[in-house]
Amino acid sequence: MSIPKSSKAEAAQLRQALSEHNYHYYVLDDPLVTDQEYDRLFRRLQQLELEHPGLVTPDSPTQRVGSEPASHFESVTHEVAMLSLDNAFDEEEMLAFDRRLRDKLDRDSALAYCAEPKLDGLAVSLLYEAGELVRAATRGDGRSGENITANARTIASIPLRLIGDNLPRRIEVRGEVYMELEGFAALNRSQQQDGGKVFANPRNAAAGSLRLLDSRITASRPLTFCSYGTGLCEGVELPPGQYQQMQFLRAIGIPISRQIELLDSIDDCLDYYQRILAQRDELAFDIDGVVFKLDDIEQQREAGFVSRAPRWAIAYKFPAQEVMTRLLDVDFQVGRTGALTPVARLEPVAVGGVMVSNATLHNMDEIERKDIRIGDIVILRRAGDVIPEIVAPVIQQREGKLKRPRMPSRCPVCNSEVIQQSGQAAYRCVGGLVCAAQRKEAIKHYASRKAMDIEGLGDKLVEQMVEQGMIESVADLYHLELEQVAGLERMAEKSAQNLLQALEQTRTTSLARFIYALGIREVGEATAEALAGHFGNLEVIMDADVESLQQVEDVGPVVAENIRHFFDQQRNRDIIDQLLDQGVNWPAIDLSHRQLDQSLAGKTYVISGTLNGYSRDQAASLLKARGAKVSGSVSSKTSALIGGENPGSKLARAEALGVEVLDQAGFESLIEG
């Protein structure tokens, strides 16, 4: 029967694509597609070759594993071929695998399996002779790999010499070199600081580290090794079961999986899969499935092999955590603190068992670093319940000139100015009192105990009022009526009366409380007190320039900019005017204390220990009234340590730095001028 031309052409295209993907994955350690996409292409080629056996060629990716070894390493021929595994993607395929084995072995009873997580790393072969490591090699194309002995010797979890008395004359140990998540994160931080390559995932990091020409660099990378089986073994008869053989390896010093188990049936295998899947996000390393192997070694031999994989083993893959899709656009969400976060709008795609159409892009620095553009094909990752994120764009599939995402200059919710402070990655909307995205948080903050202290106005009540359209800003609180409030869920007339009475009481407050209640970014209670004490007048504060604001104690350039940006928004000023029109007021502030001697201006003091007749706050106030700053820690810039009784470790620190130390008499002399 002739093969259709369309099938011939499709098979040729698939062979070429898979060969290219193998080269990038195994040789360059720079995959072009996700595992899910590779599996899809591979299974399609398998299907075509099954339908038309004449399409099978000796060099088809279905007939071999991986790609040719890289030329810069010595080639090693494996004495026993390192084959790949067939995959299962659902329970039905697992049950079919078990049925095929029982048919092959002519068995009606259940088969026992050895199970362990499928590590996402780089497969290697370790050859030991007389107990000593003599060679390490990558899997390569399954027949030959790359000699990486010098690099393997730097990995602490790979024993250089086996332990025990009854050691094999020669034994080839097979396993996975991988990188734990914590080490991977630390490596990427270090790479980023040094301007080096940032790896997309732990598998790439492990593969790239293991195949460096300079083994000194490999030694600095957090690599580890875990065995999953053996190749040849001479001089010792290995136990008759896969699980027992793994225990033998552990006994002679080879690390094996802590999650390895011996299971009595295929049903136990399915239960094991679900258990490991539930633990996936709690493990210290990446896994992408579970490997099941027929436990009885004699049954393994009887079951035999197909061209590229043993019939007696299978990898039951987890739902993909990384997939490819297209980035359609980038929107910007405004959070409760005013921070703008870029959000990717994607062509919907299933990842980790969930359909995803949105993903976080973190911040603009991250977008720039990854060079993400609108219209790109991107790699999307979702681990467990973690918000999906874009790992990287697939640069090789970029077509034409694509637009870079740009941060808007105005808030997409309230049209207030968007600013980025020096040294910070975040961009923020400064329309704190008027921005709908920040509205609930602004009202909750205004009502909080240390702000206006509106008793009875809790978070849930604020949320009800905002959601029902009763209040749009803090000024609307003073327009609330008894009937409105009493009609809210879990509110009665008495509770409503109490709330309105509490609101009435807050019409008289202090300037410091009012400034704090406005929710200006990084203006806490102490800063609000300092502003009120320094300027004494709200209008003066609202009109003060950045330089004037920085004259206030503990107000640096960032806080001064925050204050200035907040009051530059006319709509924030409108809300303040509405509050004042509603009768919110405070006593006038006497600024005569500012005429005191300022002889300590520019000095910084630290108070430690107990002073007779003065609390620490009183002592600090006396110093501040004379222009001094009071710090909590001693440094080389400290003018003097004021040490009372039991000054503690700060005294030793001051003496070590050569900082002057004043006793009680010295302190009193200081404040008396």
Report the catalytic residues: 118
Q: Where are the alpha helices (DSSP H) in 252-343?
A: 266-279, 297-303
For residues 650 and 607, the answer to whether their CB atoms sit within 8 Å is no
Q: Give the containing element (helix H, strand E) for 440.
A: helix 439-447
- 122-129 and 132-138 as β-strands: parallel, antiparallel, unpaired? antiparallel
Amino acid at position 311, single letter: R
CA distances from 669 to 416, 572, 595, 666 (A): 52, 47, 20, 5
Reference 625, options 607, 599, 588, 660; nearest CA is 599
End-to-end CA distance of the chain: 110
Nearest Cα residue to 203 out of 285, 261, 304: 285
User: Rounded CA gap, 123 and 227, in Å?
Assistant: 9
Report how far residue 59's alpha carbon sits from residue 28's, in angstroms, rounded to the nearest whole number.
20
The Cα 321–Cα 316 span in angstroms is 14
What torsion, rounded to 10 degrees, do the Cα atoms 167, 170, 176, 178 define? Answer: 70
- DSSP state, residue 330: E
Q: What distance in Å separates the CA atoms of residue 14 and residue 198, rounded to the nearest whole number?
A: 30
- How many whole angstroms separate alpha carbon 553 and alpha carbon 625? 11
Longest CA–CA separation in the chain, Å: 110
d(CA 643, CA 129): 70
CB 440 within 8 A of CB 460: no
3-state class percentages of the chain: helix first, strand second, coil last, to nearest 5: 40, 20, 40
Q: In a 3-state reduction of DSSP, which class is residue 511?
A: helix
Measured CA angle at 201 (ends 137, 33), to 5 deg:
85
Distance, in Å, from the CA atom of 193 to the CA atom of 486, rounded to the nearest integer, reads 58
- Cα–chain center distance at 445: 29
Token output for 330? 């980038």
- Phi, psi for residue 451 in degrees, rounded to 5: -95, -110
Helix (H/G/I), strand (E/B), else coil: 601: coil
In the 8-state DSSP scheme, what is residue 310?
B
Residue in this structure with the two tokens 């749009």, named with its chain if needed = 472
Which CA distances in Å does 559 have to 162, 338, 485, 527, 565? 62, 15, 37, 9, 10
Tokens of 658: 């050569």
